[in-house]
Amino acid sequence: MPPPCDHTRRALIAAIASGPLVLYAHETTKTLTPELVITLTGQALIAHDLCAVGYPGFDQVVAEIRRGDIAMTDLETAIVTPASGAATREGVFLHAAGVPELACVKQMGFGALALANNHAFDFGREGVLATLDEVRKQGLAAAGTGKNLAEAARAAHFEANGQRIALVAMATGKIREGGAAEDALPGVNELRLTSLGEPDAADLDRILQSIRLASTRSDYVVAYLHNHDWREDKSVTQEWTRRFAKSTVNAGASAFFAHGAPLMHGVELYRGAPLFYGLGSLIFHSRTAPGFYRHEVWQSAIVHLSYHDRKIVRIELIPVALNEIGDDPGQQDQTRGRPRIAGGREAQAILERLQQISAPFGTKFKIHDGHATILL
């Protein structure tokens, strides 16, 4: 075969060079930066649009949340729309927010929400669906509630940094009559406890099945539990919770996190997966009177989980402090429970408490410069 003319040859070389080169560059990029950062925070009990008002310190919190490729939390309120039902409770524990507050959660950097909790039902089964609708309209992934039990139990699937992530969410405790999803009724994916205080076998089976299925379709699965089973001391993690968290890892979860008790619980590592038994609150627009909750309730952390080729390579914790007394005492409820990145002695105190309550689980911390890493 005669050699191609110079022009054709150059074009051919260019084509060959650009073809494999592009592919190679793509593969190289994938190999060199396969890191994925999953960011987890305390629950979002939001009732006022922080994004509209702003406050000193808010931007730093948002920047921290946005450091992750994907950030997740629990939405600890119903989003009320004309499609919601009537309120199913009254007083300070009725949690209601509007679409602007939900949009703010998205604007803060969250991409996926757990909706399984004891407030999902605050505006009835219609309210469960109305919230889910609005969350989806915002383009947020959502898990833990649905139009029936199958949907509530199903994983939410989404992508971040080119990788496939799933979230499976459930709730235990304080799910009122009518709040749990059933075969043909909307509600929460409930993990019930038996009279002996152990997970109900059918609920456990459904949840672990969902995680197993999700792990076949994703690179990472995050399991979430909204846990209102606490005994005399709210800060003590029950043994069943530890066993349950580990069973989610055995089923394929890469990480487990929880809220419910309104303060941070310890952290445990199990088979390379971090288990956060309680991350407290990121936003806490509680209408309770000052002094109702102990000091630790106003502490939290933003957690960055860095993965590389599906393995955890770094766990970083940024301490967060919330104000119990409103920035404007004349508008106490509207201006309290706001997160700020903690600094100085406050940061040290938050991280040392977390270190101390995690020590019985064999978890070791390195605290430096106002943040902490967990030794892997």
118 touching Zn ion, by CB under 5 A: yes
Closest approach, Cβ 343 to Zn ion, in A, equals 28
* AA letter at 286: S
Closest approach, Cβ 340 to Zn ion, in A, equals 22
Of 250, 170, 238, the C-alpha closest to 198 is 238
Nearer Cβ to Zn ion (80/347): 80
Closest approach, Cβ 234 to Zn ion, in A, equals 12
Phi/psi at 283 (5° precision): -125, 130
Nearer Cβ to Zn ion (132/341): 132
Using the contact rule CB under 5 A, the part of the chain among 112-120, 128-136, 307-315, 352-360 near Zn ion is 112-120
Nearer Cβ to Zn ion (258/357): 258
Binding positions for Zn ion, 22-81, rule CB under 5 A: none
Nearer Cβ to Zn ion (214/322): 322
3-class secondary-structure state, position 334:
helix
Using the contact rule CB under 5 A, the part of the chain among 10-18, 24-32, 113-121, 244-252 near Zn ion is 113-121
List, as own/partner pairs, every contact residues 133-139 make where C-beta atoms lie below 8 angstroms and the sequence separation is at least 24, other chains included. 133/81, 133/83, 134/79, 134/81, 134/99, 134/102, 135/75, 135/79, 135/102, 138/102, 138/103, 138/106, 139/106
Closest approach, Cβ 363 to Zn ion, in A, equals 24
CB 37 within 8 A of CB 306: yes
Using the contact rule CB under 5 A, the part of the chain among 5-13, 25-33, 115-123, 155-163 near Zn ion is 115-123
> In this chain, which residue has its C-beta nearest to Zn ion?
118
Nearer Cβ to Zn ion (117/145): 117
* AA letter at 243: R
Nearer Cβ to Zn ion (88/118): 118
Closest approach, Cβ 88 to Zn ion, in A, equals 15
Q: What share of the chain is helix, strand, coil (3-state, %, to 5)?
A: 35, 30, 35
Closest approach, Cβ 173 to Zn ion, in A, equals 8
Using the contact rule CB under 5 A, the part of the chain among 110-118, 133-141, 198-206, 333-341 near Zn ion is 110-118
Closest approach, Cβ 67 to Zn ion, in A, equals 26
Number of residues that bind Zn ion (CB under 5 A): 2
3-class secondary-structure state, position 87:
coil
Nearer Cβ to Zn ion (117/210): 117
218 touching Zn ion, by CB under 5 A: no
210 touching Zn ion, by CB under 5 A: no
Closest approach, Cβ 364 to Zn ion, in A, equals 30
Cα–Cα distance, 287 to 296 (Å, whole number): 17
* AA letter at 55: Y
Q: Residues with Cβ < 8 Å from 222, sequence gap 6 or more?
A: 38, 40, 72, 165, 166, 167, 168, 253, 254, 255, 256, 257
Burial group, residue 133, by CB count within 10 angstroms (0-12, 13-18, 19+): middle
Nearer Cβ to Zn ion (118/172): 118
Footprint of Zn ion (CB under 5 A): 117-118
